[in-house]
Amino acid sequence: MSTLSTSPQAAQNAVVSSDIAYAVVDFETTGLNPQDGDRAIEIGISLFRGGKEVDTFSSLINPQMRIPAFITQLTGISNAMVAGAPGPCEVFQNALDFVGDAQLVAHNASFDRKFWRRELSLVLGLECDREFVCTLMLARRVFQSFPSHRLGEIARVLNIDTGRSHRALDDARVTTIILATMMDRLRRAHPEQLIDASFLQAYQKKARTKLPDLSSIV
């Protein structure tokens, strides 16, 4: 599994003047929509600060329902594996404590955000309206020439080892390396700007046609 220290200078160069922490979150779930009753079965979080991964959190989650066979085939996570795992209340309280006030990040954040919010509401009674930085939206603007912006395809082009695809922590760590790479390219393209969470949130919403393609910056 590649780590931030092994990606070519990206993490080193992505340091910003403020000590902002980014919590890169990934879920494996029983399905696509928590509003239809789907639940999280695994969470992985990579904490990124000062240009490097500083900590990780991961846990299987007993979803208190059966995992569909196609999800087991996709992720390798079986009903037997989660039978002895902690329940959602314990896992999400621990995850919330781990994240603290870090900026939340995910690849295809619209998916992970809805599970994050739904689980916090269901099991802890908390309403969370914190915004995510979406590395998928950013990648569409930074890596405009890439053939695809799926996590695995970006990792392939950038020569990032993906570990166990469709496992939460491995995917979160790959996303962290991609985030560091994009922050580095944005820093070099916009040397006058502080590449922080506010910049990233604004950049991911800009029209792609008005932005430079940073795919070829080495």
- Nearest partner of 88 among 111, 121, 66, judged by Cα: 121
CA–CA distances in Å: residue 203 to residues 142, 143, 181, 193, 195: 9, 13, 15, 12, 10
On whether residue 135 sits in a domain, the answer given is yes
Cα 7–57–79 angle (5° rounding)? 115
Q: Kindly give the confidence (pLDDT) of every residue in the chain, 218 residues in length, as a single tens digit, with 9 standing for 90 and above.
A: 334 333 544 544 444 445 789 999 999 999 999 999 999 999 999 999 988 899 999 999 999 999 999 999 999 999 999 999 999 999 999 999 999 999 999 999 999 999 999 999 999 999 988 999 999 999 999 999 999 999 999 999 999 998 887 899 999 999 999 999 999 999 999 999 999 999 999 999 999 999 999 998 76
Q: What is the CA radius of gyration of the chain?
A: 17
- Nearest partner of 133 among 160, 102, 155, judged by Cα: 102
CATH number at residue 23: 3.30.420.10
On whether residue 218 sits in a domain, the answer given is no
Check residue 129 and report its DSSP letter: -
Instruction: Please state the domain count of the chain.
Output: 1
- Edge-to-edge strands, sheet with 21-29: 52-60, 40-49, 21-29, 103-106, 132-134
On whether residue 80 sits in a domain, the answer given is yes
Helix or strand holding residue 124 (H, E): helix 109-124
On whether residue 209 sits in a domain, the answer given is no
- E strands, the chain, where? 21-29, 40-49, 52-60, 103-106, 132-134
For 4, what's the count of Cα atoms within 13 Å in the CB-facing half-sphere? 30
- The Cα 18–Cα 29 span in angstroms is 34
Asked if residues 13 and 187 have their Cβ atoms less than 8 Å apart, the reply is yes
- Nearest partner of 40 among 31, 50, 49, judged by Cα: 31
For 135, what's the count of Cα atoms within 13 Å in the CB-facing half-sphere? 29
On whether residue 216 sits in a domain, the answer given is no
Classified as helix, coil or strand, 81 is helix
Tally of residues, the chain = 218
On whether residue 212 sits in a domain, the answer given is no
Q: Match 């639940």 to its residue by tokens.
A: 39
On whether residue 29 sits in a domain, the answer given is yes
Supply the pTM of this predicted model.
0.90
Residue 166 backbone zone (phi > 0: left; psi -120 to 50: alpha; other: beta): left
On whether residue 88 sits in a domain, the answer given is yes
Domain around 121: 4-204
Classified as helix, coil or strand, 120 is helix
